[in-house]
Amino acid sequence: MSDLAHVLVLAGGLSYEREVSIRSGRRVSEVLRAAGVVVETRDTDATLVPAVLADPPDAVFVTLHGGAGEDGAIRSVLELLNVPYVGATPDACRVAYDKPTAKAVVRSWGLNTPDSISLPKETFHDLGATAVLARIVDRLGLPLFVKPSRGGSALGASIVRSAEELPAAMVGCFAYGDTVLIEKYIAGVEVAVSVVDLGDGPVALPPVEIVPDSGVYDYAARYTAGHTEFFAPARLSPEDAEACAAMAVTAHAALGLRDISRTDLIVDETGRPYFLEVNVAPGMTETSLLPMAAEAAGRDLGTLCKGLLELAARRG
Protein backbone atom coordinates (compact mmCIF):
# COMPACT_ATOMS: atom_id res chain seq x y z
CA MET A 1 0.00 0.00 0.00
CA SER A 2 1.03 3.60 -0.54
CA ASP A 3 2.06 6.00 2.22
CA LEU A 4 -0.61 8.28 0.76
CA ALA A 5 -3.60 7.79 3.03
CA HIS A 6 -6.06 9.99 1.14
CA VAL A 7 -5.77 11.26 -2.43
CA LEU A 8 -8.27 13.46 -4.22
CA VAL A 9 -8.72 13.39 -8.01
CA LEU A 10 -10.53 16.44 -9.40
CA ALA A 11 -12.51 15.82 -12.59
CA GLY A 12 -15.44 17.34 -14.42
CA GLY A 13 -15.80 21.10 -14.13
CA LEU A 14 -17.96 23.31 -16.31
CA SER A 15 -15.75 23.82 -19.37
CA TYR A 16 -16.46 22.55 -22.88
CA GLU A 17 -14.07 19.70 -22.06
CA ARG A 18 -16.07 18.37 -19.11
CA GLU A 19 -16.71 14.91 -20.56
CA VAL A 20 -13.04 14.44 -21.43
CA SER A 21 -12.09 15.53 -17.91
CA ILE A 22 -14.45 12.98 -16.38
CA ARG A 23 -12.83 10.24 -18.49
CA SER A 24 -9.34 11.43 -17.50
CA GLY A 25 -10.30 11.44 -13.83
CA ARG A 26 -11.78 7.96 -14.06
CA ARG A 27 -8.60 6.61 -15.68
CA VAL A 28 -6.29 8.23 -13.13
CA SER A 29 -8.42 6.98 -10.25
CA GLU A 30 -8.38 3.43 -11.66
CA VAL A 31 -4.61 3.25 -12.12
CA LEU A 32 -3.97 4.79 -8.70
CA ARG A 33 -6.22 2.25 -7.00
CA ALA A 34 -4.38 -0.50 -8.87
CA ALA A 35 -1.15 0.99 -7.45
CA GLY A 36 -2.55 0.70 -3.91
CA VAL A 37 -3.65 4.30 -3.39
CA VAL A 38 -6.90 5.23 -1.63
CA VAL A 39 -8.63 7.60 -4.03
CA GLU A 40 -11.63 9.90 -3.84
CA THR A 41 -12.92 11.53 -7.05
CA ARG A 42 -14.73 14.87 -6.86
CA ASP A 43 -16.21 17.45 -9.20
CA THR A 44 -15.62 21.18 -8.73
CA ASP A 45 -18.95 22.15 -7.22
CA ALA A 46 -20.13 23.84 -4.02
CA THR A 47 -19.35 20.75 -1.97
CA LEU A 48 -15.63 20.74 -2.77
CA VAL A 49 -14.28 23.33 -0.32
CA PRO A 50 -16.29 22.10 2.72
CA ALA A 51 -15.25 18.52 1.95
CA VAL A 52 -11.57 19.44 1.69
CA LEU A 53 -11.70 21.45 4.91
CA ALA A 54 -13.42 18.59 6.73
CA ASP A 55 -11.01 15.92 5.47
CA PRO A 56 -7.88 17.42 3.85
CA PRO A 57 -6.30 15.07 1.31
CA ASP A 58 -2.58 14.31 1.31
CA ALA A 59 -2.44 15.59 -2.28
CA VAL A 60 -4.68 16.37 -5.24
CA PHE A 61 -4.37 15.19 -8.84
CA VAL A 62 -6.04 17.76 -11.13
CA THR A 63 -7.55 16.21 -14.26
CA LEU A 64 -9.67 19.23 -15.16
CA HIS A 65 -9.28 20.31 -18.79
CA GLY A 66 -9.92 23.82 -20.08
CA GLY A 67 -11.17 26.77 -18.06
CA ALA A 68 -10.51 26.68 -14.34
CA GLY A 69 -8.61 23.42 -14.63
CA GLU A 70 -5.79 24.93 -16.66
CA ASP A 71 -5.96 28.70 -16.11
CA GLY A 72 -4.77 28.47 -12.51
CA ALA A 73 -8.09 29.24 -10.79
CA ILE A 74 -8.68 25.86 -9.11
CA ARG A 75 -5.02 25.65 -8.15
CA SER A 76 -5.31 29.06 -6.48
CA VAL A 77 -8.18 27.70 -4.40
CA LEU A 78 -6.14 24.62 -3.47
CA GLU A 79 -3.34 26.90 -2.29
CA LEU A 80 -5.83 28.90 -0.21
CA LEU A 81 -6.80 25.61 1.41
CA ASN A 82 -3.13 24.66 1.95
CA VAL A 83 -3.62 21.47 -0.05
CA PRO A 84 -0.69 20.22 -2.17
CA TYR A 85 -1.41 19.26 -5.77
CA VAL A 86 0.29 17.80 -8.82
CA GLY A 87 1.21 20.27 -11.54
CA ALA A 88 2.08 23.85 -12.31
CA THR A 89 1.47 26.82 -10.04
CA PRO A 90 -1.39 29.25 -10.77
CA ASP A 91 0.95 31.89 -12.24
CA ALA A 92 2.60 29.39 -14.59
CA CYS A 93 -0.80 28.05 -15.63
CA ARG A 94 -2.01 31.52 -16.57
CA VAL A 95 0.97 32.02 -18.88
CA ALA A 96 0.84 28.56 -20.46
CA TYR A 97 -2.95 28.53 -20.90
CA ASP A 98 -2.92 31.65 -23.08
CA LYS A 99 -1.46 30.37 -26.35
CA PRO A 100 -0.21 33.72 -27.77
CA THR A 101 1.56 34.46 -24.48
CA ALA A 102 3.07 30.98 -24.30
CA LYS A 103 4.30 31.30 -27.89
CA ALA A 104 5.95 34.64 -27.09
CA VAL A 105 7.69 33.18 -24.03
CA VAL A 106 9.09 30.10 -25.77
CA ARG A 107 10.16 32.20 -28.75
CA SER A 108 12.18 34.37 -26.37
CA TRP A 109 13.97 31.16 -25.33
CA GLY A 110 14.92 30.48 -28.94
CA LEU A 111 12.23 27.93 -29.88
CA ASN A 112 10.63 27.87 -33.32
CA THR A 113 6.90 28.55 -33.43
CA PRO A 114 4.71 29.36 -36.45
CA ASP A 115 4.17 33.02 -37.29
CA SER A 116 0.80 34.11 -35.98
CA ILE A 117 -1.63 36.89 -35.16
CA SER A 118 -4.08 36.95 -32.26
CA LEU A 119 -7.29 38.85 -32.84
CA PRO A 120 -9.95 39.70 -30.22
CA LYS A 121 -13.57 39.58 -31.27
CA GLU A 122 -13.99 43.34 -30.73
CA THR A 123 -11.14 44.18 -33.10
CA PHE A 124 -12.47 41.72 -35.65
CA HIS A 125 -15.84 43.52 -35.69
CA ASP A 126 -14.82 47.14 -35.04
CA LEU A 127 -12.17 47.41 -37.76
CA GLY A 128 -14.16 45.62 -40.42
CA ALA A 129 -13.80 41.89 -40.81
CA THR A 130 -13.19 41.88 -44.56
CA ALA A 131 -10.29 44.34 -44.49
CA VAL A 132 -8.65 42.74 -41.45
CA LEU A 133 -8.86 39.20 -42.79
CA ALA A 134 -7.45 40.24 -46.16
CA ARG A 135 -4.39 41.69 -44.44
CA ILE A 136 -3.97 38.52 -42.37
CA VAL A 137 -3.89 36.40 -45.52
CA ASP A 138 -1.43 38.82 -47.12
CA ARG A 139 0.82 38.68 -44.05
CA LEU A 140 0.77 34.98 -43.18
CA GLY A 141 -0.17 33.40 -46.49
CA LEU A 142 -2.21 30.22 -46.91
CA PRO A 143 -3.02 27.72 -45.56
CA LEU A 144 -3.69 28.92 -42.02
CA PHE A 145 -4.62 27.23 -38.75
CA VAL A 146 -7.29 28.97 -36.68
CA LYS A 147 -7.92 28.13 -33.02
CA PRO A 148 -9.12 29.79 -29.80
CA SER A 149 -6.35 31.50 -27.86
CA ARG A 150 -7.37 29.44 -24.84
CA GLY A 151 -8.80 25.98 -24.36
CA GLY A 152 -7.97 22.59 -25.78
CA SER A 153 -9.26 19.39 -27.36
CA ALA A 154 -9.17 21.20 -30.75
CA LEU A 155 -12.59 22.72 -30.04
CA GLY A 156 -13.17 25.60 -32.47
CA ALA A 157 -9.98 24.83 -34.38
CA SER A 158 -9.79 24.40 -38.16
CA ILE A 159 -7.47 24.52 -41.17
CA VAL A 160 -8.15 27.34 -43.63
CA ARG A 161 -6.96 26.63 -47.17
CA SER A 162 -8.56 29.58 -48.96
CA ALA A 163 -9.34 33.19 -48.08
CA GLU A 164 -13.04 32.46 -48.53
CA GLU A 165 -12.94 29.91 -45.69
CA LEU A 166 -11.44 32.29 -43.15
CA PRO A 167 -14.57 34.24 -42.05
CA ALA A 168 -16.52 31.06 -41.20
CA ALA A 169 -13.51 29.64 -39.36
CA MET A 170 -13.27 32.82 -37.30
CA VAL A 171 -16.96 32.76 -36.39
CA GLY A 172 -16.72 29.08 -35.40
CA CYS A 173 -13.69 29.82 -33.27
CA PHE A 174 -15.36 32.74 -31.47
CA ALA A 175 -17.97 30.30 -30.21
CA TYR A 176 -15.27 28.96 -27.86
CA GLY A 177 -13.53 32.18 -26.82
CA ASP A 178 -13.22 35.92 -27.33
CA THR A 179 -9.78 35.83 -28.96
CA VAL A 180 -8.64 33.84 -31.98
CA LEU A 181 -5.08 32.74 -32.70
CA ILE A 182 -4.36 32.56 -36.43
CA GLU A 183 -1.16 30.69 -37.28
CA LYS A 184 0.69 29.98 -40.47
CA TYR A 185 -0.03 26.31 -41.14
CA ILE A 186 3.07 24.13 -41.02
CA ALA A 187 2.76 20.85 -42.91
CA GLY A 188 4.56 17.93 -41.32
CA VAL A 189 4.45 15.22 -38.70
CA GLU A 190 2.27 16.04 -35.70
CA VAL A 191 3.99 15.01 -32.47
CA ALA A 192 3.23 15.28 -28.76
CA VAL A 193 5.99 15.11 -26.16
CA SER A 194 5.07 14.61 -22.52
CA VAL A 195 7.43 15.79 -19.79
CA VAL A 196 7.51 14.44 -16.24
CA ASP A 197 9.57 15.49 -13.25
CA LEU A 198 9.62 13.20 -10.22
CA GLY A 199 12.09 15.41 -8.38
CA ASP A 200 15.26 14.88 -10.40
CA GLY A 201 14.50 17.37 -13.16
CA PRO A 202 12.17 17.30 -16.17
CA VAL A 203 12.50 14.31 -18.49
CA ALA A 204 10.81 13.88 -21.87
CA LEU A 205 8.90 10.67 -22.50
CA PRO A 206 9.08 9.17 -26.01
CA PRO A 207 7.36 11.38 -28.61
CA VAL A 208 3.98 10.17 -29.86
CA GLU A 209 3.17 10.61 -33.55
CA ILE A 210 -0.43 11.44 -34.43
CA VAL A 211 -1.97 10.36 -37.75
CA PRO A 212 -5.73 11.14 -37.86
CA ASP A 213 -7.77 9.33 -40.51
CA SER A 214 -9.40 12.61 -41.57
CA GLY A 215 -6.08 14.44 -41.79
CA VAL A 216 -7.12 16.77 -38.97
CA TYR A 217 -6.62 15.96 -35.27
CA ASP A 218 -9.99 17.37 -34.21
CA TYR A 219 -12.20 16.52 -31.20
CA ALA A 220 -13.58 13.33 -32.76
CA ALA A 221 -10.13 12.19 -33.83
CA ARG A 222 -8.81 12.75 -30.30
CA TYR A 223 -11.45 10.95 -28.31
CA THR A 224 -13.04 8.36 -30.60
CA ALA A 225 -11.18 5.07 -30.64
CA GLY A 226 -10.12 4.04 -34.14
CA HIS A 227 -10.28 7.52 -35.70
CA THR A 228 -6.56 8.17 -35.28
CA GLU A 229 -3.45 6.05 -35.61
CA PHE A 230 -0.72 6.65 -33.05
CA PHE A 231 2.91 5.66 -33.11
CA ALA A 232 4.70 5.54 -29.77
CA PRO A 233 7.52 6.20 -30.15
CA ALA A 234 7.07 8.43 -33.19
CA ARG A 235 8.56 7.38 -36.53
CA LEU A 236 11.28 10.03 -36.38
CA SER A 237 15.01 9.82 -36.85
CA PRO A 238 16.97 9.70 -33.58
CA GLU A 239 18.14 13.26 -34.24
CA ASP A 240 14.63 14.59 -34.86
CA ALA A 241 13.23 12.74 -31.83
CA GLU A 242 15.97 14.24 -29.68
CA ALA A 243 15.20 17.74 -31.02
CA CYS A 244 11.51 17.29 -30.14
CA ALA A 245 12.37 16.08 -26.64
CA ALA A 246 14.72 19.03 -26.11
CA MET A 247 12.03 21.47 -27.28
CA ALA A 248 9.44 20.03 -24.87
CA VAL A 249 11.83 20.15 -21.90
CA THR A 250 12.82 23.72 -22.80
CA ALA A 251 9.19 24.79 -23.10
CA HIS A 252 8.46 23.19 -19.71
CA ALA A 253 11.30 25.21 -18.17
CA ALA A 254 10.61 28.45 -20.06
CA LEU A 255 6.99 28.51 -18.91
CA GLY A 256 7.89 27.67 -15.31
CA LEU A 257 5.92 24.42 -15.31
CA ARG A 258 6.13 21.69 -12.69
CA ASP A 259 5.69 17.93 -12.40
CA ILE A 260 3.94 17.22 -15.69
CA SER A 261 3.19 18.82 -19.07
CA ARG A 262 2.65 17.93 -22.71
CA THR A 263 3.99 19.96 -25.61
CA ASP A 264 2.41 19.70 -29.06
CA LEU A 265 4.76 20.10 -32.01
CA ILE A 266 4.92 19.90 -35.79
CA VAL A 267 8.06 18.53 -37.44
CA ASP A 268 8.40 19.85 -41.00
CA GLU A 269 9.91 17.99 -43.94
CA THR A 270 13.40 19.23 -43.05
CA GLY A 271 13.15 17.79 -39.53
CA ARG A 272 12.69 21.18 -37.91
CA PRO A 273 10.26 21.12 -34.95
CA TYR A 274 7.81 23.94 -34.28
CA PHE A 275 6.20 24.60 -30.91
CA LEU A 276 2.41 24.82 -31.14
CA GLU A 277 1.15 24.82 -27.55
CA VAL A 278 1.61 23.28 -24.14
CA ASN A 279 -0.88 21.56 -21.86
CA VAL A 280 -0.52 21.78 -18.08
CA ALA A 281 -3.18 19.11 -17.44
CA PRO A 282 -2.59 16.51 -20.16
CA GLY A 283 -5.42 14.18 -21.06
CA MET A 284 -5.33 10.80 -19.31
CA THR A 285 -8.08 8.97 -21.20
CA GLU A 286 -7.72 5.67 -23.05
CA THR A 287 -6.85 7.58 -26.26
CA SER A 288 -4.69 10.28 -24.62
CA LEU A 289 -1.07 10.82 -25.47
CA LEU A 290 0.71 10.91 -22.10
CA PRO A 291 -0.41 7.38 -21.14
CA MET A 292 0.81 6.14 -24.54
CA ALA A 293 4.16 7.83 -24.01
CA ALA A 294 4.47 6.34 -20.53
CA GLU A 295 3.80 2.86 -21.91
CA ALA A 296 6.36 3.40 -24.68
CA ALA A 297 8.88 4.35 -21.99
CA GLY A 298 8.10 1.17 -20.05
CA ARG A 299 6.56 3.14 -17.18
CA ASP A 300 3.47 2.00 -15.34
CA LEU A 301 0.93 4.84 -15.42
CA GLY A 302 -0.32 4.15 -11.88
CA THR A 303 3.21 4.16 -10.48
CA LEU A 304 3.95 7.40 -12.33
CA CYS A 305 0.81 9.13 -11.02
CA LYS A 306 1.50 7.84 -7.52
CA GLY A 307 5.05 9.20 -7.67
CA LEU A 308 3.79 12.62 -8.73
CA LEU A 309 1.31 12.67 -5.84
CA GLU A 310 3.99 11.63 -3.35
CA LEU A 311 6.23 14.44 -4.63
CA ALA A 312 3.38 16.93 -4.25
CA ALA A 313 2.63 15.68 -0.73
CA ARG A 314 6.28 16.12 0.31
CA ARG A 315 6.26 19.60 -1.20
CA GLY A 316 3.12 20.44 0.76
Active site residues: 17, 153, 223, 262, 264, 277, 279, 283
Q: Give CA 175 to chain center in angstroms.
A: 20
Secondary structure of residue 191 in the 3-state scheme: strand
Write out the H or E segment, with its range, that includes residue 125: helix 121-126
Write out the H or E segment, with its range, that includes residue 79: helix 73-80
The rounded distance, in Å, linking the Cα atoms of 179 and 154 is 15
Other residues' Cβ atoms within 10 Å of the Cβ of residue 175: 10
Closest-CA residue to 285 (of 31, 20, 1, 12): 20
Q: Torsions phi, psi of 143, nearest 5?
A: -75, 170
Closest-CA residue to 37 (of 13, 12, 1): 1
| Those residues with Cβ within 8 angstroms of residue 298's Cβ, 6 or more apart along the chain or in another chain | none
Write out the H or E segment, with its range, that includes residue 7: strand 7-10
